[in-house]
Amino acid sequence: MASSTQAMNQALEANQDKLMKRTQDRPIASGRFSVLQGASASVLFGATSLGIFSQFGITTCLTASAIWAGYIGVYVPLKKITRLSTHVGAIVGAAPAYLGWVAATGTFVGLDPLLLSLHIYSWQFPHVYSIAWMYKSDYERAGFKMITDIDNNGKKSYNSAVLGNLGQLVSASAMVVNGNLNPLFFVIGTGYCINSVVDSLSQFKSVSVI
pLDDT by 10s per residue, the chain, length 210 = 999 999 999 999 999 999 999 999 999 999 999 999 999 999 999 999 999 999 999 999 999 999 999 999 999 999 999 999 999 999 999 999 999 999 999 999 999 999 999 999 999 998 898 888 889 999 999 999 998 888 888 888 888 888 998 898 888 889 888 888 788 877 777 777 777 666 666 666 555 444
**Which residues make Cβ contacts (< 8 Å) with residue 24, sequence separation at least 6?**
17, 18, 30
- Per-residue pLDDT tens for 89-132? 999 999 999 999 999 999 999 999 999 999 999 999 988 988 88
The pLDDT value given to residue 15: 96
The pLDDT value given to residue 177: 87
Domain boundaries, the chain: 1-106, 110-210
The pLDDT value given to residue 141: 93
The pLDDT value given to residue 194: 73
Answer whether 165's CB lies under 8 Å from 197's CB: yes
The pLDDT value given to residue 209: 47
The pLDDT value given to residue 159: 87
Please state which CATH class domain 1-106 belongs to: mainly alpha
The pLDDT value given to residue 64: 96
The pLDDT value given to residue 121: 96
Burial of 47 (0-12, 13-18, 19+ CB in 10 A): exposed
Look up residue 16 and give its amino acid. Answer: Q
Helix boundaries (H) for the chain: 2-12, 14-19, 35-53, 58-69, 76-78, 85-94, 96-105, 111-134, 136-142, 155-178, 183-203
For 185-204, give one letter per residue: b (16+ CB within 10 A) or e. Answer: ebeebeeebeebbeebeebb
- DSSP classification of residue 207: -
